[in-house]
A and B are shown apart, each in its own frame.
Chain A
């Protein structure tokens, strides 16, 4: 192994092997030193292993964690190959972020879905790379990382970067820019001068002690941390009140308001999808519109897809869920317009952009859809400037407080956006 592959990493090495780098015991008082959890299972001969972070490769009491300090061996040569321009509001946020970098602070960007968060980051990333700082961009969900990756490659064409998630980890190289799922941070130790956490409110990061540890462990003592979200959790909102610096961006980059959630009743849809629903779909089908149908449970996917297929046999569609082996492939065929619709669980609630998309939510009153999830789902619609509106239709059996709250959240954001527009 190349010695540089240990810079800022913490890798598992059997104690019996000669370890390169600085090694420490993988457990202390039964607490896993990689993930900070105490969930162990026994091995023969009084050995044991950690079950909490097992998916990243096993850590056992027979192992050491080896690491080397991050030396910032980077050239500082960087070109920003992105040629777009920031809107006035995006510009303001990106300036806030440059100040954050200079002061090594924490900062939250609260920007509505479709505000163009990624572009706002470019000046920050550009300056950090120039300063030979190591930059990590992470998100809890794979889809978000997969979508970010090509955009960063395009924007920083000359900068070497790796994208780490799930099974992809064997392609690790020592690079100045790292894109990864938050889980992958468990393999880093005091690596990043700048860490950007996208979709910071989204499952499974929110309130997860293991991932909180991973984040804190992966940054250097002196660091800059940027959180991005369209729908901050209550916990984050509390931190804002206690003084966490924040930039608001209530308006989408194309200056149009967010599509609001329309409510409609649909009773006993699981038993038999009503004619009312078929009628709604046929409007979309006749005008050749593309759409996503969100359902609460994996078990709902196939029946809904089958029924639509029976109603509209000529239209091509598919269904997808979190553990779907062909998940990336299906999302791609939707993006390439090979299929007209996808039936999906909440996994596509965020991070994905399909131009000209409409969304329908079945069972929006189901507990699977939180207030923030509904706002995120609505946020899939109207993201492109040439197609800034679209349908967001939530079907419920009962109108719940949660559904109402999601509706209100969007109306409130739009009020702020309108004010901002008028002031320009």
Chain B
């Protein structure tokens, strides 16, 4: 899968993420807004899909850091975090579990996804695991193409 990142995940970016995402200073959401939307505009796609955060994160951090950064961009909220199945998990090791488990679920019927060119957006791309699972789910639902971008890698 083709992935593009705007910036390297260096010390400056780390510091930004620390302040914005982990310390929750939501006012910093606009810092890279223009750059991200410009990148999105230059990519062929039908819909733009942010990587979701869990219900718990919404109740503690209070925001989805990707949605925050994309203020002004039309987003399709078609992914959510799947409720975890604790009993099922315990039979695998942690690493295996990470690889096998599909963390996402579809919010909408797959009919709406069939034939769509989808652009996934995340804040930081690390192992590629997140994007892999999200793309997998969308391809299974009939997406035509799935591309991905992130603020940093």
Judged by DSSP, the binding face of B is helix
Q: By the criterion CB–CB under 8 Å, are A14 and B23 in contact?
A: no
Judged by DSSP, the binding face of A is loop
Considering the complex, which residues of chain B in the window 1-52 have a beta carbon less than 8 Å from any beta carbon of chain A? Answer: 23-27
Q: By the criterion CB–CB under 8 Å, are A15 and B59 in contact?
A: yes
Q: By the criterion CB–CB under 8 Å, are A43 and B62 in contact?
A: yes
Q: By the criterion CB–CB under 8 Å, are A60 and B63 in contact?
A: no
Nearest CB of chain B from residue A139's CB, rounded to whole Å: 25
Nearest CB of chain B from residue A14's CB, rounded to whole Å: 4
Q: Which B residue's beta carbon lies closest to that of A63?
A: B60
Contacts of A60 in B (CB 8 A): 24, 62
Q: By the criterion CB–CB under 8 Å, are A16 and B25 in contact?
A: no
Q: By the criterion CB–CB under 8 Å, are A51 and B23 in contact?
A: no
Instruction: Pick from B27, B59, B68: contact of A62, CB below 8 A.
Output: B59
Q: By the criterion CB–CB under 8 Å, are A41 and B27 in contact?
A: yes
Nearest CB of chain A from residue B42's CB, rounded to whole Å: 27
Contact with B along A39-77 (1 / 0, CB 8 A): 001111101010100100110101000000000000000
Interface residues on A, range: 10 to 19
Q: Which A residue's beta carbon lies closest to that of B27?
A: A41
Instruction: Pick from B27, B56, B60, B63: contact of A44, CB below 8 A.
Output: B63
Q: By the criterion CB–CB under 8 Å, are A14 and B59 in contact?
A: yes
Tell whether A54 pairs with B56 under 8 Å between CB atoms, given A44-B63, A47-B62: no
Q: By the criterion CB–CB under 8 Å, are A62 and B62 in contact?
A: yes
Q: Given the complex of chains A and B, what is the CA–CA distance between A44 and B62 in angstroms?
A: 7
Q: Given the complex of chains A and B, what is the CA–CA distance between A14 and B55 in angstroms?
A: 13
Contact with A along B99-123 (1 / 0, CB 8 A): 0000000000000000000000000
Tell whether A43 pairs with B59 under 8 Å between CB atoms, given A49-B24, A49-B26, A54-B25: no
Nearest CB of chain A from residue B25's CB, rounded to whole Å: 6
Instruction: Pick from A15, A16, A43, A57: contact of B26, CB below 8 A.
Output: A43
Q: By the criterion CB–CB under 8 Å, are A58 and B59 in contact?
A: no
Q: By the criterion CB–CB under 8 Å, are A41 and B62 in contact?
A: no
Contacts of A58 in B (CB 8 A): 23-25
Instruction: Pick from A16, A41, A42, A47: contact of B56, CB below 8 A.
Output: A16
Contact with A along B51-95 (1 / 0, CB 8 A): 000001011101100011000000000000000000000000000
Considering the complex, which residues of chain A in the window 86-119 have a beta carbon less than 8 Å from any beta carbon of chain B? Answer: none
Q: Given the complex of chains A and B, what is the CA–CA distance between A51 and B19 in angstroms?
A: 12
Contact with B along A6-18 (1 / 0, CB 8 A): 0000000011110
Contacts of A16 in B (CB 8 A): 56, 59-60
Q: By the criterion CB–CB under 8 Å, are B60 and A43 in contact?
A: no
Chain A interface residues toward B at CB < 8 A = 14-17, 41-45, 47, 49, 51, 54, 57-58, 60, 62
29 example contacts (A-B, Cβ-Cβ < 8 A) are as follows A14-B59, A15-B59, A16-B56, A16-B59, A16-B60, A17-B60, A41-B25, A41-B26, A41-B27, A42-B26, A43-B26, A43-B62, A43-B63, A44-B62, A44-B63, A45-B58, A45-B62, A49-B24, A49-B25, A49-B26, A49-B62, A51-B25, A51-B27, A54-B25, A57-B23, A58-B24, A60-B24, A62-B59, A62-B62
